Amino acid sequence: MMSNFTIQLIAQQDHLAQDSGVLVLANDADPRELSLHGISRIDLHFPKFTDGRAFSQAFLLRRRLGFAGEIRATGDVQVDQIVQMQRTGFSSAVLSDGQDETVALRQIARYGAFYQGDAVNTQPAFTRAA
């Protein structure tokens, strides 16, 4: 399982959804029903800011299915979501138009550690080695 990683921000012009080895997963799809063999990246889509189904999908992929490849957030990705995306298993995100990458990086730096476990660091802080 990954540890101590920071979510990577991808510029919209650099996001290519049709690369080989990329699976674009619909919001209503159950990741547990998929074959992940040969998949190196999964794109999860946020159709609007208030639709959080992709958070659950990312958590399932990372924590329950052990997917170790890239999980990328696409769609209406807002700066406010970046830290939660990182904690639920996303490894990269494509910010929506009008979102400032500098602000997103400040958010990530502001919340560098958490007491509870999450999809990436499963152990609570008191059980982790210093």
Look at residue 64 and tell me whether its pLDDT is greater than 60. Answer: yes
120 within some domain:
yes
| Location of structure tokens 């999860």 | 44
2 within some domain:
no
More confident residue, 20 or 102: 102
pTM of the model: 0.82
3 within some domain:
no
107 within some domain:
yes
The domain that holds 47 is classified in CATH as 3.20.20.70
User: Are the beta carbons of 46 and 80 closer than 8 angstroms?
Assistant: no
Cα dihedral 86, 59, 61, 64, rounded to 10, equals 130
116 within some domain:
yes
- pLDDT tens-digit series, residues 80-100: 899 889 989 999 999 998 888
